[in-house]
Amino acid sequence: MEKTIDESKQGEHLILEQKDGNTRKLFIESYGCAMNFSDSEIVASILSEQGFNTTQSLEDADLVLVNTCSIRDKAEQTVRKRLEKYNAVKRINPKMKVGVLGCMAERLKTKFLEEEKIVDLVVGPDAYKDLPNLLAEVDEGRDAINVILSKEETYGDIAPVRLNTNGVTAFVSITRGCDNMCTFCVVPFTRGRERSRDPQSIIEEVNDLWSKGYKEMTLLGQNVDSYLWYGGGLKKDFVKASDMQKATAVNFAQLLELCAKAQPKMRIRFSTSNPQDLTLDVIETMAKFDNICKHIHLPVQSGSNRILKEMNRLHTREEYFELIDNIRRILPNCAISQDLIAGFPTETEQDHQDTLSLMDYVKYNFGYMFTYSERPGTMAERKMEDDIPEETKKRRLAEIVQRQREHSEIRTKEYLNTVVEVLVERESKKSDQQWSGRTSQNIVAVFPKEHYNIGDLVKMQVTDCTSATLIGEAIAYSMEN
Ligand code: SAH
Ligand code: F3S
């Protein structure tokens, strides 16, 4: 069940509940990580107060916003191509305004206005509350930009408008930014310092989701396990917090427990875990609550100690194995997935073999695999030469993907002739007679529809599988329904 992310397949535009009295039309689309999709829901909420309803038709739009990703060069190229498309539409509809949001906005700043004549508005990930002011400037015919990063902004006080939703699963963002400074990664530069959101506002959002019929939510952060609330501000300032603030502080394991108890029937997922920050407390909390899904996305990036060090990943291969052993001991039915990078600078064949042997040890259920893409401004770009030839990177990636395919197949076969619990999310892409959902382990499962509906939690007998999908028949509603 390997997944190489194809950024060009993203960009689904979002549909917003139409608010009476709103006359302007917003076309908004998102690329990149789940956080961007979640941020677009915040942006849509802010703009719905400014007279905008969303439209699915680019040609009809008064305002086009694209929420962008900088993680790899390919992601940026995809957005550049979209801007060409907007340009063609603007020739027919010259009054249409175009804004760039997200990580590319933050990385390129005013360069965007210089390089892409079509762009009227550039807004970084921490500046969305300034959109009303920026739009007023655009309406008066001036270009507008705000790319100021914040130490506090978490948008905890904005109720996101759920967009393009199946009504069953939702994202809830809990931290923003990242302090880890992995040497290959642009995120700390585009999303700023790490900060956590008030747990009270998180629980309120969870309760609200449940009351609206949602059955599963994913707590989101670049590094969720470093969540720490002590009254606001940067995590590094926690040392200066008062004794009272420290006594009432909430860490990620505690937040998980609060969420699990607030809505005991709601499925809870979280993403992403950085190995150096995932604590035993979190694993034990997962074991304590049935409604916390048994899946950990645990990016490792490389299996070589030397490369891990060059990447500034603050753990060794051996420490990672220890963590895996602990997960297997405490959560024997937990799925584990990875992110891996092939061809980081100086990576030797031996380093690559170390990655393959690490994969053999873990036998991940699935993963997201990439070739190294040098990002401007990162430590790796400044200090190291991007010295692995493209064809070597591609060959190593193909070997990693092939190995993952073998492991995924072994893993899905383990479920044959067992009963799994599936939350129905949508019609199967392959057949309108089948439902598609996911198991607690985040494995896709399909079965004939019969009398079941979207949003049902169903017990399914697994009769067949591919490397990515469990195939079966529903037996009954789950008792947890
Ligand atoms: N903690 C984040 C990670 C963000 S980036 C999260 O919430 O998912 C997602 C993945 O992209 C990383 O784990 C890494 O495998 C990959 N990635 C990041 N920078 C990259 C680069 N410069 N080249 C190739 N892959 C990269
Ligand atoms: Fe990037 Fe490392 Fe943070 S991959 S998002 S700097 S944990």
Cα angle 403-361-275, degrees, rounded to a multiple of 5: 100
**pLDDT grade, residue 142 (50/70/90)?**
very high
pLDDT at 7: 45
We report the CATH number of the domain holding residue 30 as 3.40.50.2300
CATH number at residue 211: 3.80.30.20
- Could you give the number of structural domains in the chain? 3
| Domain-embedded: residue 395 | yes
Pocket test for ligand 2, best of 106, 184, 187 (most atoms within 8 A of CB): 187
**Is the pLDDT score of 286 beyond 70?**
yes
pLDDT band at 233; cut points 50, 70, 90: confident
What pLDDT, in 10s, does the model give residues 450-464? 999 999 999 999 999
434 and 325 within one domain: no
> pLDDT tens for residues 374-403?
999 999 999 999 999 999 999 999 999 999
Q: What is the pLDDT of residue 13?
A: 54
With the most atoms of ligand 2 within 8 angstroms of its CB, the residue from 190, 191, 223, 370 to mutate is 223
Q: Is residue 380 within 6 Å of ligand 2 at its C-beta?
A: no
Q: What tens digit of pLDDT does each residue of 93-121 get?
A: 999 999 999 999 999 999 999 999 999 99
Q: Are residues 459 and 408 in the same domain?
A: no
- For residues 77-91, give the mean pLDDT: 94
pLDDT at 3 over 60: no
The answer on 286 and 219 residing in a single domain is yes
Answer yes or no: do 333 and 452 share one domain.
no
Using CB distances shorter than 6 Å, the residues near ligand 1 are: 33, 71-72, 184-185, 187, 222-223, 272, 299, 301, 339, 341, 370, 372-373, 375
Give buried/exposed letters for 265-274 (b at 16+ CB in 10 A, else e): ebbbbbbbbb
Q: Distance between CA atoms of 342 and 446, rounded to whole angstroms?
A: 32
Q: How remote is the CA of residue 116 from the centroid of ligand 2, in Å?
A: 28
Q: Residue of the nearest CA to atom 2 in ligand 2? A: 182
Q: Is 119 in the pocket of ligand 2 (CB under 6 A)?
A: no
| Residues 376, 464 within the same domain | no
Q: Examine the pLDDT at 8 and tell me if it is beyond 60.
A: no
Same domain for 302 and 266: yes
Q: Are residues 175 and 92 in the same domain?
A: no
Asked if residue 163 is part of any domain, the answer here is: no
In a domain, 25, yes or no: yes
Q: Kindly state whether residue 154 falls inside one of the protein's structural domains.
A: no
Atom nearest to 178 CA in ligand 2 = 3
Average pLDDT on 272-294 reads 97
Distance CA 67, CA 335 (A): 31
Q: Compute the distance between CA of residue 338 and CA of residue 299 in angstroms, rounded to an integer.
A: 4
Does residue 274 have its Cβ closer than 6 Å to ligand 2?
A: yes
Confidence of residue 11 (pLDDT cuts 50, 70, 90): low
Instruction: Identify whether the C-beta of residue 475 lies closer than 8 Å to the C-beta of residue 370.
Output: no
Where in the sequence is the domain holding 326, given as residue range(s)? 169-413
* pLDDT tens by residue, 319-351: 999 999 999 999 999 999 999 999 999 999 999
Give percent of the chain above pLDDT 90: 89
What is the structure's pLDDT at 255? 98
Instruction: Determine the distance separating the centroid of ligand 1 and the alpha carbon of 264, expressed in angstroms.
Output: 32
Q: How far apart are CA 88 and CA 90, in angstroms?
A: 5
Last residue in a domain, options 87, 114, 146: 146
437 within domain boundaries = yes
Ranking 91-95, 251-255, 286-290 by mean pLDDT, the lowest is 91-95
Same domain, yes or no, for 248 and 285? yes
Give the residue, out of 370, 379, 382, 394, with the most ligand 1 atoms within 8 A of its beta carbon, to mutate for a pocket test. 370
* pLDDT beyond 50 at 148: yes
Cα–Cα distance for residue pair 305/314, rounded to 1 Å: 10
211 and 230 housed in the same domain: yes
The best mutation among 5, 35, 175, 185 to test binding of ligand 2, ranked by most ligand atoms within 8 Å of the C-beta, falls on 185
Is the pLDDT reported for residue 136 higher than 90? yes
CA 428 / ligand 1 centre spacing (Å): 29
Residue 20 has pLDDT above 80, yes or no: no
Q: Is residue 157 part of a domain?
A: no
Q: From the CB of 182, is ligand 2 less than 6 Å away?
A: yes
Answer with the one of 376, 396, 413 that is the final residue of a domain. Answer: 413
Same domain, 211 and 336: yes
Q: What is the pLDDT of residues 297-321, one digit of tens each?
A: 999 999 999 999 999 999 999 999 9
Q: Does residue 223 line the site of ligand 2, with CB under 6 A?
A: yes
Residues 102 and 119 in one domain: yes
Does 305 lie in the same domain as 289?
Answer: yes
Is the link from the previous residue into 272 a cis peptide, with omega within 30 of 0? yes
**The ligand 2 atom nearest the CA atom of 186:** 1
Say how far apart CA 54 and CA 387 lie, in whole Å: 45
User: Is 160 a domain residue?
Assistant: no
Task: Tell me the average pLDDT across 33-37.
Answer: 95
* Banded pLDDT at 409 (limits 50, 70, 90): very high
Tell which of 413, 438, 453 closes a domain: 413
Average confidence score pLDDT of the chain: 94
pLDDT tens string 187-218: 999 999 999 999 999 999 999 999 999 999 99
456 assigned to some structural domain: yes
